[in-house]
Structure 1
Amino acid sequence: MEDSLIALLGFFSLFILLAIRTPVGIALMLVGTAGIWFIRERAAIPKLGGEIFNEASNYPLTIIPLFVLMGNLAGASGMSRDLYAAAHSWVGHMKGGLASASVVGCAGFSALSGSSLAAALTMGRVALPEMERYKYEGGLAAGSIAAGGTLGILIPPSAGFVIYAILTEESIGRLFMAGVLPGLMLTALFILAIWITVLRHPDRAPGGTDKAPLATRLRMLARAGWIIGIILLTIGGIYSGVFSAIEAAGIGATLAFVVTIIRGKLTRANLVEVFASTLKSSGTVFLILFGAFVFKSFIGFSGVTNDLADWVQAQGYTGMQVVIAFIAIFVILGMFMDGFAILVLTVPLVQPIIEPLGIDMVWFGVLMVIALEMGLISPPVGVNVFVVKGIAPNVPLNTIFRGIWPFWFAMLAAVILILIFPQIALLLPDTMFG
């Protein structure tokens, strides 16, 4: 049997396993090991053991549990609630202000947790009751949380960027810096989408809080000083070159732990919940990475990436045309598959095709992550939508999906802007690294 045919059967088998809800990491390991066995029998088991050991002992991957721990401690200590309260005091009185405050809160929490699901879940529990109290329409309220939560895989520290960096052998710090300006831009576009929605349909956000006095707003901002300080220290430290992304993760987690102690929130129950959640989230990511590298080895053995790269070059497509085609494919795949699954499945195939065309892999990584964000709120899967549905059971699912469309188009606008102006993503990493 030809190696390319074995690769095709491998992808087909993988999609079958994913369709029957086999965990992504397990499915990748099974298919990857079986595929290597068919191509080079003696290499199968050594490759399986070797790739798992290499990734388990990969020092840069310590960044994942550290940032996840930092985000969980921020939630347990009440720092996430303080961040929302500060945003609420500054913009809550405006039309659609509570939804805008939710987006700002999600953006801030994303800068600690690096997880879209954690951002949506944490901010949803804080913000949704407030929006319900002021009679916000369910679609706008839930949609703003679901969309705001997607910022978790764009604004550093992003678990998506860490996995992408490991798969492509790019700099984690460079990718983190590349996500800062697009993350801020997308946050602004979300707020603009809320403003336009409320302008067209004032009944969707009928009420708002009274405008808080300046002294109150400054007091709320001061209460959020811990979380703002940790964010500025970690991101600023990476940008200034004072410490690496991995060291920033350790410093951030330590500071979050100290704040939790100072606030008297370091109870036994909180400790158990924080560390159990951190271990569960980190273990899931590591299992996916183990499988991804076994599967990547299988793809390498099959030689299918070289065949695809040769075919693309023979067609005479430009780098930009190929990038746009892949972004469209990611958006479509995101409607049916989990974002991490798409990442680990497609990057080993895509990188050998676009790199010879002169495409900057950091710039492409930002575009890919935004495309995956679009998938997080796209029907029928829309993982973030189902997370928000779990904390807003009284809002029908189709109402939430209707509410996310303004934010989906805001993401599309972000993709177009970064395609036209690559420096939005590359300015900070180029300034920092040259």
Structure 2
Amino acid sequence: MSPELVGLAGLAAMVVLMLLRMPVALAMFAVGFAGVAILRDTASAMSLLASESFTLASSAELVVVPLFILMGNVASATGMSRALYDAAHAVIGHVRGGLASATILGCGGFAALSGSSVAAALTMGRVSMAEMERFGYDTRLSTGVVAAGGTLGILIPPSTGFVIYAILTQQSIGKLFLTGVLPGILLLSLFMLAVTLLCRLDPRLGPRSPRSGRAQRLRALTGAAPILVIVCLTIGGIYGGLFSPVEAAAVGAGLVMLAGALQRRLTIAVLWAAARDSVVTTATVMLILIASHMINPFLALSHIPSTVGTFLTGLPVGPMVVLAMILGCYLVLGCFLDGFAMLVLTLPIFFPVITQLGFDPVWFGVLVVLTLEMGLISPPVGMNVFIVKSVARHVPLGRIFAGVLPFWLAMLAALGLLVAFPQIVLILPETMIP
């Protein structure tokens, strides 16, 4: 059997294992190990498993993952994420659809803490959905806005999606964090525009809530001030060159714990639970990354990346058409595969094509992360949709998918704008990084 056929068989086996609910990392370990053993020998596979696991696990850059996850978990456990929502609610909750827009703003703020879409959807779902239900919001809008708003967690920095992309493609984490700022603001604005248009077309979707008094608004803004200051110091420190991403993660986690302790909300039990959740999430990410270093040599030995690259670059079409085909593949795969699994499986194949066609790899990283966001709310897998379903058990799954459709279209519009105007992505790193 030729190496190419072995590679295709391995990829097919991996997809089948994932569809059978085998953990992504284990499926990649199994296929990568077996593939290297077949194409080379068992000794090479054993050596690769040992060396790559140690090399990746000892990478200092990966420290950002547990620290930013811990930062988000502590902020959630001590009520700081609710303070963000309460502040947005107090300011714009009185306008039609204001609670939904406040939820989006809260998701954006929480994204700047945790970098996790699942955490953002779960946290903001618990915080905001009861309020929207109390004021008579249609469940399509309330569930849709939480599921879609939660996806901001892997676009607005610090983003675990950018960290993994940077490690897999040897790009700068700090530069990728910079590229996510304006696209994140753009997508957040498009989400709020979608809420406004929906509520204008059908006012019953998002009724007005009572206007907050000046004292109530001031109290809500004061309550959110500590976490806003922490976000500005942490992310601003990266942009201003004061911290590296690793240092910023440590500063952010330390400041969140200090703020929680000063507010007397961070007890030993709360810190232990947040740390335990952070370890579990970090272990999942690390396993996937280590598994990627098993699957990538297998793909290289099978010649699939070079074969696909030669095919795509040899097509009688322009580079933008090839890019559209690649992004289309991501949109389709997002309906079935976990986002991290998509990165690990596709980047060894598509990234060389992108660089060969002359596209900026950092710009492409933002496009890929945005398509991963779309996959989080795409049927039938849509991870964020199922997260919201776990919070709103009384809402049918089909109704939640109907609710996310306008926001999926807003993401598609954002993707089109970023492709048409790359400077939206590149202006910050080009002007702030020498």
TM (normalized to structure 2)? 0.98
Q: Deviations over 1:182-227 (max 9, x none)?
A: 0011000000000111111111113x22222334323321211111
Deviations 1:339-382 (CA, angstroms, capped at 9, x unpaired): 11111111111111111110111111111111111110111111
- Residue type of the alignment partner of 1:76: A
Gaps spanning 5+ residues in structure 2: where? none
1:296 Cα deviation (Å)?
0.8
Distance across 2 between alignment mates of 1:278 and 1:34:
31
Q: Kindly report which structure 2 residues correspond to 1:332-411, keeping only aligned pairs within 5 A, or say none.
A: 332-411=332-411
Q: What letter is aligned with 1:37?
A: A
For residues 226-265 of structure 1, the aligned pairs below 5 Å read 226-265=226-265
* Structure 2 partner of 1:143: 144
Q: 1:137 offset after TM fit, Å?
A: 0.4
Query: What is the CA-CA distance between 1:394 and the residue it aligns to?
Result: 1.2
Q: Distance in 2 between matches of 1:91 and 1:406?
A: 21
Name the residue aligned to 2:8. 8
Deviation by residue 1:306-335 (Cα, 9 ceiling, x = unmatched): 122222222243322111111111111111
Is 1:427 aligned to 2:423, yes or no? no
Contact 1:111 1:231 in 2 (8 A): yes
Does the Cα contact within 8 Å between 2:309 and 2:349 map onto a contact in 1?
A: no
1:196 aligned onto 2:197: yes
Q: Which amino acid counterpart does residue 120 of structure 1 have in structure 2? A: A
Corresponding residue SS for 1:394: coil
Quote the sequence identity (%).
49
Given that residues 77 and 260 in structure 1 are in contact (C-alpha distance below 8 angstroms), is that contact kept between their aligned partners in structure 2?
A: yes
Give the RMSD, CA atoms, in angstroms. 1.1
Q: Which one-letter code corresponds to 2:55 in the other structure?
A: N
Q: Which residue of 2 aligns with 1:47?
A: 48
Q: Distance in 1 between matches of 2:432 and 2:247?
A: 17
CA contact (8 A) 1:318 1:357 kept: no
**Contact kept in structure 2, 1:76 and 1:260, CA below 8 Å:** no
Worse-matched range after superposition: 20-29 or 209-218: 209-218
| Contact persistence 2:75–2:81 (CA under 8 A) | yes
**In the aligned structure 2, how far is the partner of 1:330 from the partner of 1:311?**
18
Code of the residue aligned with 1:256 in structure 2: it is: V
Contact 1:145 1:388 in 2 (8 A): yes
CA contact (8 A) 1:10 1:31 kept: yes
Instruction: Report if the CA contact (8 A) 2:234-2:248 is conserved.
Output: yes
TM-score, scaled to structure 1: 0.98
1:94 alignment partner in structure 2: 95
In 1: Cα distance, 2:313 partner to 2:407 partner: 36
Code of the residue aligned with 1:146 in structure 2: it is A
Q: Aligned to 1:315, what secondary structure does the other structure show?
A: coil
Report if the CA contact (8 A) 1:77-1:259 is conserved: no
Give, in whole Å, the separation in 2 of the partners of 1:319 and 1:227. Answer: 43
Is residue 39–residue 301 contact of structure 2 (8 Å, CA) maintained in 1?
yes
Distance, in Å, in 1 between the alignment partners of 2:418 and 2:58 is 35
CA contact (8 A) 1:153 1:161 kept: yes
Corresponding position of 2:38: 38
Q: Provide the C-alpha distance between the structure 1 equivalents of 2:28 and 2:317, rounded to a whole number of angstroms.
A: 31
- Post-superposition Cα deviations, 1:115-170, rounded to whole Å, max 9, x if no partner, equal 00000111111100100000100010010000000000000010011000000000
1:157 is matched by which residue type in structure 2?
P
2:182 equivalent in structure 1: 181
Structure-1 residue corresponding to 2:219: 219
Q: Distance in 2 between matches of 1:24 and 1:270?
A: 30
AA aligned opposite 1:402 = A
User: In the alignment, which residue of structure 1 is the partner of 2:165?
Assistant: 164
What amino acid maps onto 1:59 in structure 2?
A
**Local SS of the residue matching 2:180:** helix
Whichever residue aligns with residue 58 of structure 2, its letter is S
Name the aligned partner's letter for residue 68 of structure 2: F
Aligned-pair CA distance for 1:303: 2.0
Contact 1:113 1:152 survives alignment (8 Å): yes
* 8 Å contact from structure 1 (residues 323, 364) kept in 2: no
Tell me if structure 2 keeps the 8 A contact 1:154–1:370. yes
Q: Are 1:140 and 1:403, in contact at CA under 8 Å, matched by a contact in 2?
A: yes
Distance in 2 (alpha carbons) for counterparts of 1:432 and 1:6 = 46
| Residue 65 in structure 1 maps to residue 66 in structure 2 | yes
Query: Secondary structure of the equivalent of 1:21?
Result: coil
Letter in 2 for 1:163: I
Q: Number of residues paired by the alignment?
A: 433
CA distance in 1, matches of 2:425, 2:105: 20
3-state SS of paired residue (2:395): coil
Taking the aligned partners of 2:267 and 2:227, their CA distance within structure 1 comes to 20
1:108-123 aligned within 5 A: 108-123=109-124
Q: After alignment, is 147-156 or 219-228 more displaced?
A: 219-228
Aligned residues of 1:107 and 1:155 also touching (Cα < 8 A): yes
Residue type of the alignment partner of 1:8: L
- Quote how far apart the aligned CAs of 1:18 are: 0.6
Name the aligned partner's letter for residue 27 of structure 2: A
| Segment drifting more, 42-51 vs 144-153 | 42-51
Q: Determine if contact 2:117/2:153 at 8 Å carries over to the other structure.
A: yes
Write the letter of the residue equivalent to 2:210: D
Deviations 1:234-279 (A, max 9, x none): 1111111111111100100000110111111222321221011001
Q: Is the 8 A contact 2:306 2:349 kept in 1?
A: no
